[in-house]
């Protein structure tokens, strides 16, 4: 049986007295892709925010490789091997793709402020190492030719791929993807499908993906979790979830309300 890289245990959180997550329990198996689906307002992004430390839960626990990360700051959780992307672009305007890729890598530097100011030999060596790691990640996603192009000159869909590449620089154990297919054409969605499989198969990364493009979720996910009104209502193999009456009712009910 596959071990869980990430576990969510009894997580609940409310905002202004309104429950966003209610006693959610879910395991994310190591080296697998888990898709999270559900109607708007189901609590999907809130769950990712709790996992990565942006919103500490009111109750429950989150464990990364059986270590509790509940209450840790996002940067500390990231240092332990959990990275994420967001729904909106996080690239910095006025910087090249390569510079965007390298942004934040300075936090891994061992030279300190004095070494950085004086441009020590070790600092220069670390910068070159960071540059190579960034280029390797761009190579992996097939975007090395964009390295010197302005990040904000790329299409929104291309920026999404760059953001995924940026998570790979850090050799993460788990990556949380918040709607990675937003802004992608049908052909780009197919390329994203292939990329996610390669990240899983070649890098061994555990992927947790929120996505509204159901064909992508059902095609690429090893398992699917369904949330509705802050509760988990179904989980299992894609074909099992697809035929679950509770899932159909959740989606159809929200369509009727709309």
pTM of the prediction? Answer: 0.89
> According to the 3-state scheme, what is the secondary structure of 109-164?
CCCHHHHHHHCCHHHHHHHHHHHHHHHHHHHHHCCHHHCCCEHHHCCHHHHHHHHH
Nearest to 127 by CA among 96, 103, 144: 103
Residue 64: strand, helix, or coil: strand
What confidence tens digit (pLDDT) does each residue in 170-214 have?
A: 899 999 999 999 888 899 899 999 999 999 999 999 999 999 999
Residue 217: strand, helix, or coil: helix
Q: Is residue 110 classed exposed, middle or buried when 0-12, 13-18 and 19+ CB atoms within 10 A define those classes?
A: exposed
4-91+171-257 CATH pick, 3.30.1360.70, 3.40.50.970, 3.40.50.10790, 3.40.50.300: 3.40.50.300
What confidence tens digit (pLDDT) does each residue in 35-48 have?
A: 999 999 999 999 99
Q: Where are the domains of the chain?
A: 4-91+171-257, 92-153
């Amino acid at each position: 049986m596959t071990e869980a890289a990430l576990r969510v245990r009894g997580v609940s959180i409310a905002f202004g007295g309104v429950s966003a997550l209610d006693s959610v329990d879910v395991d994310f198996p190591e080296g697998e892709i888990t898709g999270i689906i559900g109607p708007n307002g189901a609590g999907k992004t809130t769950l990712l925010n709790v996992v990565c430390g942006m919103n500490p839960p009111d109750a429950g626990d989150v464990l990364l490789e059986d270590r509790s990360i509940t209450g840790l700051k996002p940067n500390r959780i990231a240092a332990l091997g959990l990275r994420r992307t967001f729904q909106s672009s996080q690239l910095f305007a006025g910087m090249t793709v390569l510079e965007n890729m390298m942004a934040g890598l300075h936090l891994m530097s061992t030279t300190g402020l004095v070494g950085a100011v004086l441009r020590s030999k070790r600092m220069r060596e670390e910068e070159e190492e960071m540059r190579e790691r960034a280029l390797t990640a761009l190579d992996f996603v097939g975007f090395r030719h964009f390295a010197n192009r302005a990040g904000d000159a790329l299409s929104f869909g291309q920026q999404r791929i760059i953001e995924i590449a940026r998570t790979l620089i850090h050799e993460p154990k788990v990556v949380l993807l918040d709607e990675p297919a937003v802004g992608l054409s049908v052909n780009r969605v197919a390329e994203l499908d292939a990329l996610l499989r390669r990240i899983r198969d070649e890098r061994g990364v555990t992927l947790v993906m929120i996505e509204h493009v159901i064909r992508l979720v059902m095609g690429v996910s090893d398992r699917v979790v369904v949330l509705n009104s802050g509760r988990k209502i179904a989980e299992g193999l894609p074909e099992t979830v697809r035929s679950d009456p509770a899932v159909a009712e959740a989606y159809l009910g929200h369509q009727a309300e709309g």
